Amino acid sequence: MTFRTAALAAAICASLPVPAFAQDSQIDTAPADPYADTVFSGDYISVGIGAVLSPSYSGSNDYVVSPLPIVQASFGGIDLNPRPAGLAVDFVSDSGKGPGFDLGIAGRLRADRAQQISDSVVKSLGELDRAVELGPTAGISFPAVFNPYDSVTISTDVMWDVAGAHDGMVIAPSLAYFTPLSEAVAASLTFSAQYADGDFHDYYYRVTPAQNLATGGVLPAFEPQGGGFTSAGVNLLLGFDLDGNLANGGLGLVAIVGYSRMLGDAKRTPFTSVRGSADQFLGGLGLGYTF
């Protein structure tokens, strides 16, 4: 995925509900259920607001600040998990012992070049339509990898645009490592990528001869070569519980920094190579409450 505005939502929400316990050197084995006796052992909800500095569009070298509402919850064994500009519903209830499995439906709103276009040349071509992407999501988590309370999660979303914008398919795999650093601080390191089909590439990366003329030749005509990976990157998140105990919920602060690299047609398109940059950065802060 590209680390744009909504990436902060996923990062903030992913950190607050995770039970982060003190790492006791005398504990040699993980507890049977690390969620027991915490705010996360039953139904819970996390809500909050964040602000993020991110590229004006995927491939832009102009940066904008955006507000961001966030939410994550679990009710009756059904989990609502954040996605960039969207949510995923996990219908699989895990026992708390051994690997955990996710299987459900993911959705997101893609507003790339549909708002906040800072570059005057790109803006002169008009705004794109917003895409609504829906599809299945699946994942697996492995607890207690290096210490009793850490985890590694592998997941993939496969989504199609149902709003008639790019009319394409997007695959978003990710690999995340979570670990508590103390009773009050947790960290998450996530590697992610985005693959998209030819329809997606044509919609976001093509520059037609008419658009070349409209920009006075500033943007050369460009024809995408078809589907492929559009980006890959990494982000680091730190969560700080304000009462010193992440396991009991309450108020928490989150800081996130991220980097991604545009790939393939997403890197070669003049929207990136002429008017932007293949290097994409993100930084943000958020405040959330879990109860």
pLDDT digits (tens, 9 = 90+) for 191-231: 999 999 999 999 999 999 999 999 999 999 999 999 999 99
Which pLDDT score, from 0 to 100, does residue 21 have?
36
* Per-residue tokens: 64: 């904008």
- Cα(23)–Cα(163) distance, rounded to whole angstroms? 47
Q: 69, 92, 93, 94: which is closest to 82 by C-alpha?
A: 69
Under a CB-based contact definition with an 8 Å cutoff, are residues 138 and 102 in contact?
yes
Q: Which CATH number fits domain 7-21+34-290: 2.40.160.40, 2.30.42.10, 3.30.465.10, 3.40.30.10?
A: 2.40.160.40
Query: Would you state the structure tokens that stand for residue 205, as one six-digit string?
Result: 């990366």
Q: Is the pTM of this model over 0.85?
A: yes
Short-list 5, 87, 20, 9, CA closest to 48:
9
Residue with tokens 């005398």: 26
How far is it, in rounded angstroms, from Cα 22 to Cα 223?
54
Q: Summarize the confidence of residues 164-168 as an average pLDDT.
A: 98
| Domain spans in the chain, listed from the N-terminal domain onward | 7-21+34-290
User: Greater confidence, 151 or 17?
Assistant: 151
